[in-house]
Structure 1
Amino acid sequence: MKKLVYLLLFACSVSFASTQLNNDYNNNDPEVGDILKISTPKNLSFKHIDFPRLNFIAKRGGLPNYKSVYEELVVVKKVTDNNGDTVVTLERKDGKKFFGYLKQVTANYTQSIDTGELVKIKS
């Protein structure tokens, strides 16, 4: 009888844990209109947000420094699935251009959230 009770408790806890994982995953999916904040990267450059290299920014006449995008609020304009990775297209919330010439940039959503390059503000 004890074995049956333990088996029942184990089965209930496993099924409860699997439903919790599925609900958390669905809440983390990006949607069009989500507001995100670009935070400072751990290295000197961004790895998962597709900003141009500094020499291309200088050639276009912009200030070759990533500090102008730190703590900037961005809005998700498009969400696509690229070989299992979630790729989002971002625009600045204030409507200005990144570095004076880029209207939109793309980012790998899951990796940039995990590394802290992007922080979700609200839906």
Structure 2
Amino acid sequence: MKKLLFTLLCFTFFLTASAHNEPKVGDVLTVNTPSAEGFNHIDFPKANILIKRGVVTQYKSINNNDVVVSNVTTDNNGSTTVILKKKDGTKFFGFLNKVKANYTNAISAGELKITK
């Protein structure tokens, strides 16, 4: 009986742990600037577009910003794409209201961090 109870307890723990990997609308994430030149899994504009608009090309202005998931879509191949908006309501680089990101790849690469 103890083994059955312990097994059920472990099973429910693993189910709740795996359920947190799926994003939901309203989840709050933090954008971290990668050590590489740019973002690979978040669709921020390239440096030449930012230069044309008169914005500094470094991504320091979005480092450690809180963003909110506004839409979640799952493709046929299993990849999860999210639409992100800034939590404070301002625009990214002064002209983007929302950006698209590959959720699983951005989390694993460290570009996005789950805020609790």
Post-superposition offset of 1:32: 0.5
- TM norm structure 1: 0.79
Unaligned runs of 5+ in 1: 1-8
- TM norm structure 2: 0.83
**RMSD of equivalent CA atoms:** 2.0
**Is 1:120 equivalent to 2:110 in the alignment?**
no
1:55 corresponds to which residue?
48
Which amino acid in structure 2 is aligned with residue 59 of structure 1? K
Matches within 5 A, 1:11-90: 21-82=14-75, 83-90=77-84
Q: Which structure has the larger Rg over C-alpha atoms?
A: 1
Q: Distance in 2 between matches of 1:96 and 1:54?
A: 20
Structure with the higher fraction of residues in helix conformation: 1
1:17-71 deviation per Cα after TM superposition (whole angstroms, max 9, x unaligned): 7765544221211111111000121312111111110101111232222111111
State the identity as a percent.
Answer: 45
Q: How many residues align?
A: 111
Unaligned runs of 5+ in 2: none
Which amino acid in structure 2 is aligned with residue 38 of structure 1? V
Matches within 5 A, 1:95-110: 95-110=89-104
